[in-house]
Amino acid sequence: MTAGLESEHAPITDCFPATEGPLDRFELSGEDVTLFERQGFLGPINALNSEEVKDLRARLDAIGERIEHHRELLYEVEEAWLERPDEVVLHFLGAWRVDELFHDLAFHPGLTVPLAQLLGVERLRFWHDQVFWKPPLHPGVVPWHQDWSYWQRTTPENHITIHISLDDADEESGCLHFIPGSHRWGALPAASFGGDIDQLRAHLDEDQRAAFQPVATPLKAGQASIHHSSTVHGSFANRSNRPRRGVVLNFMGPDTRCTDAEAPLLQGCPLFAAGALVEGAFFPIVLDRSSS
């Protein structure tokens, strides 16, 4: 197995703020926590400055230019995109194994502190990252889905997502939309990535259909939204002449266990026994406030 940056369990560069120093400066207000609990998402919040955005864009371009080369380290490159790149959004997992800045983003206290706070944990574990890349004037959509529907080989559900925009993302360029309150709907079937945006609607009951009122969450470059792992979200095509690149980081509680001994949780990761703690090189603790 080719080794990437996953064995480094602390920042490699000094590009982002240090995890040392008072961490409470990154905490969310009580109102924000209440809002997140009520609607299942939060945003926009300021995550990265313009220099950090510029650097990450350059790193992303470099990965994009040599995606075939990087496939060995990336956990996954969306099959449907490989088959139909002019129709499907470029989506891949595992940039943190390939690039130092993407690696260090997972340890960024401006992200990990609020996420741990919302999960109600002192120790936060990294799950994986994702990139959603819509070129200008591209018809690709992201079908309505719950992140949790893809993660059911782990338990219990105590996962959370932050979506950082590297571009000004608005309705014209296909920004993310959320369905308020859908984090209380229970687990719904997974949608197929390269398919129709509305696949999920066939599985909703009458009340859920009535409550299906998407809320657009425009983000400026460097801003982020945070969502609960069961919040239904998705996005429409990019009708603008600007790219819309989203970098997504997924985290989980420190005591998450594996329920599937048959296949690795992510391609290239070691196999876990059923019931084993999800831990080790690929799933570092990225924040530990247990002694503070």
Ligand X SMILES: O=C(O)CCC(=O)C(=O)O
Token output for 167: 């571009």
CB of 62 to ligand X, least distance (A): 20
Number of residues that bind ligand X (CB under 6 A): 10
Residue 109 interacts with ligand X (CB under 6 A): yes or no: no
Residue 271: which H helix or E strand, with range? none
Among 128, 163, 183, 228, binds ligand X (CB under 6 A): 163
Residues 116-145 binding ligand X (CB under 6 A) are 132, 142
278, 256 contact by CB (below 8 A): yes
Residue 235 interacts with ligand X (CB under 6 A): yes or no: yes
What gap in Å lies between CA 46 and CA 220, rounded to an integer?
9
The nearer residue to ligand X, 103 or 163, going by C-beta atoms, is 163
Q: Give the closest residue to 142 by CA, choosing from 246, 266, 249.
A: 246
Residue 165 interacts with ligand X (CB under 6 A): yes or no: no
CB of 262 to ligand X, least distance (A): 25
Contact string 246-275 vs ligand X (x = CB under 6 A): x-x---------------------------
Name beta bridge partners: 126. 251
Token output for 259: 């329920």
The nearer residue to ligand X, 161 or 208, going by C-beta atoms, is 161
Q: Give the closest residue to 232 by CA, choosing from 173, 150, 152, 147.
A: 147
Residue 5: which H helix or E strand, with range? none
CB of 249 to ligand X, least distance (A): 9
The nearer residue to ligand X, 70 or 245, going by C-beta atoms, is 245
Cα dihedral across residues 116, 119, 120, 124: positive or negative: negative
The nearer residue to ligand X, 132 or 282, going by C-beta atoms, is 132
What gap in Å lies between CA 128 and CA 249, rounded to an integer?
6
Interaction site with ligand X (CB under 6 A): 132, 142, 147, 161, 163, 176, 233, 235, 246, 248
